[in-house]
Amino acid sequence: MTGGLASIRLACTCPADAIRWACVLEATAPKAGNVYPGRDFEDLSYLDFVTAAELAASAFDPRPSSFSHGVLEACGRTAERLGTNVNLGILLLLGPLVQTDAAAGESPLNRAQWRDRVVACLDSLTAEDADRLYAAINVAAPGGMGQSDEMDLSGPPPEDFLAAMRHAVSRDRIAKNYADGFADFFHHVVPLVHQSLIDEGDWMGGLTLAHLRLLAAAPDTLIARKFGEDVAREVQRRARFDHRDGEQREAFDRYLRTGTLDRQGQSSRINPGTTADLIAAAVYVLLREAV
């Protein structure tokens, strides 16, 4: 185990501990275009992310009967405490992972086992789970999450939550992972984050590098929803530079923070938030999987 994983894994004696560590580590890494210490947004601070991490951990401790309870509870507590959407994407990704992890008890899962059991977890979702997950989405009120002719993720929930996710696949990478049983996450995201930690040899450098590599590999779907596909593709193009060149990294960060016009014609920073959410979830798996 490299990149400091081993020492932090020892501190993660339960899923709630791993939620705290995964969320705080992701938020602390100096990732381009995101909040981190010393780089707050005007409406969102690093402290907000640390607070949201604790609220998320407490919502899953003790483990709820279904992860949808934990997601809704965490979204509600976060909205009440912070008045903003801090971690909806992270919670939707962590939910099935935490339920699968907790159900394994004292026997850590390897990556293949985890993927198979996440698929079973998603397949077991009920109409009541859909109600709770839709309620969580409405509490968080994510911009552009899913207006479409076939399905509106902010509207009345269907009985089949995965059906709604399948309709949102083209607009949201988190929905894509629900629809494909987290195949993208386990086959691409987790290995890339793990390899980046190995390549850098430390948490902060590794997660920062992973963020850039993911942005260079595929458009961030939060950017695409807020600004359009052309901007998302331009961010992907600009992310394809020498990631070890500090000046180029700073220039890329400035470009994202300077922003452009969103779909409503208002100037806004370009926040690659979905990519950050995927990293937080990958860190959770790396902290809890069998080694």
Q: What is the mean pLDDT of residues 245-271?
A: 89
**Is the pLDDT score of 152 beyond 50?**
no
Chain-centre distance of CA 188, in angstroms?
14
Q: Where is average pLDDT lowest: 111-115, 122-126, 157-161, 221-225?
A: 157-161
β-partners of residue 267 are 261
Split at pLDDT 50, 70, 90, the class of 150 is very low
Confidence grade of residue 52 (pLDDT, cut at 50, 70, 90): very high
Region 153-172: what's the mean pLDDT?
Answer: 84
Asked whether residue 148 carries a pLDDT value surpassing 50, the answer given is no
pTM (predicted TM-score)? 0.94
> What tokens were used for 43?
């409406």
Between 100 and 154, name the one with better pLDDT. Answer: 100
CA torsion angle 10 11 12 14 (round to 10): 110
CATH of domain 1-291: 1.10.4200.10
* CA–CA distance, 181 with 199 (Å, rounded to integer): 28
- Tokens (6 digits) for 104: 């394994």
Quote the pLDDT of residue 106: 86
Average pLDDT over residues 108-137: 95
Percent of the chain whose pLDDT exceeds 70? 93
Six-digit token string for 82: 């912070």
* Bridge partners, residue 268, by sequence: 260
Mean pLDDT confidence for 235-248: 97
| pLDDT at site 154 | 53
Identity (one letter) of the amino acid at 245?
A: D
**How large is the average pLDDT for residues 29-33?**
97
How many other C-beta atoms are found inside a 10 Å radius of the C-beta of residue 30? Answer: 16
Q: List, in sequence order, every residue forming a beta bridge with 39; answer none if it has no partner.
A: 36
d(CA 179, CA 188) in angstroms, rounded, equals 15
What is the pLDDT, as a whole number, of residue 239? Answer: 98
Q: How far is CA 91 from the centre of its chain?
A: 7
Greatest extent of the chain over all pairs of C-alpha atoms, in Å? 52
Find how far residue 76's CA is from the centre of its chain.
Answer: 18
Using alpha carbons, select from 93, 143, 81 the residue that is nearest to residue 278: 93
* pLDDT at position 246 over 90: yes
Tell me what the mean pLDDT of segment 37-43 comes to: 93
pLDDT value at residue 110:
95
* pLDDT at 240 (0 to 100): 98
Count of CA atoms in the C-beta half-sphere (13 A) of 99: 22
Q: What's the whole-number average pLDDT of the chain?
A: 91
For 270, phi then psi, to 5°, come to: -100, 105
Q: What is the C-alpha to C-alpha distance for residues 76 and 70, in angstroms, rounded to an integer?
A: 10
6: exposed, middle or buried (Cβ count in 10 Å: 0-12, 13-18, 19+): exposed
Crossing angle, helix 15-28 and helix 203-217, to 10 degrees? 80
Q: How far apart are CA 223 and CA 243, in angstroms?
A: 21
| Alpha-carbon Rg for the chain in angstroms | 18
Domain boundaries along the sequence of the chain: 1-291
pLDDT > 90 fraction of the chain, expressed in percent and rounded:
79
Q: Is the confidence at residue 11, as pLDDT, over 70? A: yes
Q: What's the pLDDT score for residue 58?
A: 97
